[in-house]
Each structure stands twice: as C-alpha cells, then as structure tokens.
Amino acid sequence: MVTVQNAVYCPDGSKLEPESLVVTFELVRERHGMGWIGLYRPTADEISAVAEEFELHHLAVEDAVTAHQRPKLEQYGPVLFTVLRPARLVGDDARVEIGEVHVFAGPDFVVTIRHAESPDIGAVRRRLEHQPELLARGPSAVLYAVFDQVVDEYAPVVTGVETAVDVVEAGVFAGEEDISRRIYDLSLQLNDLDLATRPLPDMVAALSQWFADHDVDQELARLMRDVDDHVQRVVDRIERLRTRLQNILTVDATLVAQRQNRQIQELAEATYRQSEQVKRISSWAAILFAPTLVPTVYGMNFTHMPELTWTFGYPMALLLMVAMFGLLHLLFRRRGWL
C-alpha cells in the first residue's frame, strides 16, 4: 500500500507514528486518539484493509479507487466522504492541471487519498501540528483544513489564468497568428477550473450545516465562513474570466471578419484595376489592328486590283486607315475603355 503519511494524534497532544496500519488501528482504540492515514493513488486491494477497519461504505470506496469524480460531499452514516478537485499550474506555458483528493472523515479517523500531486496534504498536516488547539478538534478540523488548502491553492492558479488572458487579449489587437486556438485552449482550461470550483459554495454550506447539526466547535464554524468567503471570490473571478474570454473571442471574430473583408475589398479593387488594364490593352490592340487590314488586302499582289493604278488610290488607303483608327478610338473612348 502506498502509505504516504500515517500517524495517531492523542488527546494529550502527543503524536505517534506507527510502523504499520494494524498498529495504527490498535492505537486509535487504545489511546482514544485520531488516526490520520494518507494514501497516494491506492488500488482496490490496497484500500480494502482501511475500508474494512473503518467500515467505509463500499460505494464511497469505489469512487475513491476509480477517481475522476465530480466535487461532492456525501454522508454515509457517521462518515463524511468528500471529493475535491484542486488545481495547479504546470509546465513552461503554465497550463492548469486539475487534481483530485478524497477525504473520509469519521468519528476518530481521517483517510486522505490523493490521485494527483496537489493539494499539498503534507502542508495541511504541518499546519495543524503547529496549531494543536485546532488539531484537538479532531477529524472536523482536518476536513476544514483540507478545504482551506484546496481553496487557497486556487488563488495563484486563477491569477495565472488572468495573466494568460491579458496576453491573449493583447495578441488579439496585435493581430497575432493562431490567436483563436490559444483562446479556445484557455476556454477549455477555464471550463475545467469552473467545473472544479462551481460546486464548492454548496459543499461549504452543507459542511457548515453539518457542523451546526453536530454541535461542532464554533471556532470551526467561523473558520468555514472564512473558507466560504474565499470560495465565493474564486468562483466570481472565474466567472468574470469566462465572460471576459468570451468577449475577447467575439472581438477576435470581428477583427478577423474585418481583415477578411478588407482583403476581399483589396482583391476586388486589384481585379478591377486589372480589368481596366485589359480593356485598355484590348482597345489599343483593336485600334492598331483594324487599319492593318487595308495594307494587308493590297499586299496580296493580285493582278486585277483597280485601285493599284488609280491616282488617288494611295491617299485613299491612308485616309481609310486613319478613319478606321479615329472611329475605333472614338468608340472605345465613349465606352470608357480608354
């Protein structure tokens, strides 16, 4: 079994670190303490011992093993089963990675199961060990602290996404290439972040109500209200980012359409200019070609051509060529081809 952390916290404030889970179970009963077992990606066989000892519901155990669960808070008798989806930024491009952590909180035990690198359960444990008065409140305090850690880890992630949105927005107005793909990619990341955080307000409210119904320490109720404030801010920031990104996508589509219209207009103008040039060239070709018919005819050197011996034949041929030239020039100019 991949047991990352295993400890028993006694009412007198002492901490015991058993060498095996069997010893942990015994110490929890003997010392009336709280057992806190941390597991990392356990299989069904690996978690069965813990499930049997603490009488965890088989449906919750199946969810914990299968993973890929939505955020939720469910009660199975005296045990609260919680699924949270923490987030962190990974890689050089600071992409959002959504993790998963499951928490079983019973009367005298807590079992945390991580399916990703976040959240930092070790940080939660160290924090509570440095606050013995909070840790003394038992599994409820651990459950609060895990909630608080997950919510706190959202803040830098949302800030990172905001920075990415700023960069994309600047890229849209700068006309950068492939900007639409980057907007779509950010939309997918925001959607994952939204799915991870949107259920949290209802979960925090349900947990606060559970605390009230079970007369949990008032200090924990106040701490949960603080978590609720942070959750609301995170959810609101994500919603604003989604709206802003949608507006950026709309602006990008508008700018792309404007650039395409401008390109089409420029192409149409170039085609029109080319057509005008073709008309001018064709007009001058016709003007210059038509008069050549006259000398072509008289260049055939037939014997019986009366105009060859006519005194005014040559001037008449020149006049005919000039007349054809002038007539065609006038005709094309009136049509606007010249």
Summarize pLDDT for 53-81 with one digit per residue, the tens: 888 888 888 888 877 889 999 999 899 99
What pLDDT does 176 receive? 81
Percent of the chain exceeding pLDDT 90 equals: 32
Q: What is the pLDDT of residue 151?
A: 95
Quickly state the pLDDT bin for 100 (edges 50, 70, 90). very high
**Contact call for residues 70 and 192 (beta carbons, < 8 A):** no
Which residue ranges make up each domain of the chain? 3-258, 273-334
Contact predicate 161/240, CB 8 Å: no
Per-residue pLDDT reduced to its tens digit, 117-162:
888 888 899 999 899 888 888 899 999 999 999 999 999 999 999 9
CATH architecture of 3-258: 2-Layer Sandwich (3.30)
With pLDDT > 70 as the criterion, what percentage of the chain qualifies?
97
The whole-number pLDDT of residue 1 equals 46
What is the value of pTM for the model shown?
Answer: 0.76
For the stretch 212-247, pLDDT in tens is: 888 787 888 889 999 999 999 999 999 999 999 989
Burial class (CB in 10 A: 0-12, 13-18, 19+), 186: buried
Class of domain 273-334: mainly alpha
The residue written with tokens 């909180």 in the block is: 105
Beta-bridge mates of residue 207: none
- pLDDT tens-digit readout, 297-337: 777 766 667 777 777 777 877 787 788 778 877 887 787 77
- Chain-centre distance of CA 27, in angstroms? 47
* Arithmetic mean of pLDDT over the chain: 85
Query: How high is the pLDDT of residue 3?
Result: 55
Rounded Cα distance, 73 and 83, in Å: 7
